[in-house]
Amino acid sequence: MNPIILSAVSAALVQQTRGATSHVADVVAPLLTSSHVQPLGSSAHAGGLSKGDVDVWVRCPHAQFEAVIALLDTVGQRAQEQNWNEVFASFTLHTTALDGDSRTGKQEVGVQVAREGGDLCARLERQQTLLEDAGVRAHYDRAKQHGAPLGKV
């Protein structure tokens, strides 16, 4: 495996993450409220370590899961389909957010869709709650520093 390069989460990356979250909320607005869409991972917290990617989590009520997947199929590409199951799907969206890559004006966003009520959704919620704690983020960053040279983050 190739080593993974980590860098400090900048204010610009936090802003990109906010913009991406807002964009995804707009995309799924016909089916879900914005409260179902939130940033996922370290990129929402300045000062931590990140690969520099932006991920957004869509908590999806059971009844809307298939419709949200169908909607995202029209605006993005399916990602990591080998990990898909009855409670999880992922996509890559290319946005033209103002705070995207200044060279191209584009930003790639990972969108993780998890059906509410399942173990995965509960685990993602716990992870996000824990990342609000600076001490937990510091521990998480140390684990990432350990795994990055091995290509495992």
pLDDT, block means (10 residues), the chain with 153 residues: 88 90 92 87 89 92 94 96 94 72 71 90 84 87 88 78
pLDDT of residue 100: 47
Look at residue 33 in the predicted model and tell me its pLDDT: 82
Q: Measured between alpha carbons, how far is 75 from 27 in angstroms, rounded to an integer?
A: 8
Beta pairing, strands 49-50 & 77-78: unpaired
Global pTM value: 0.85
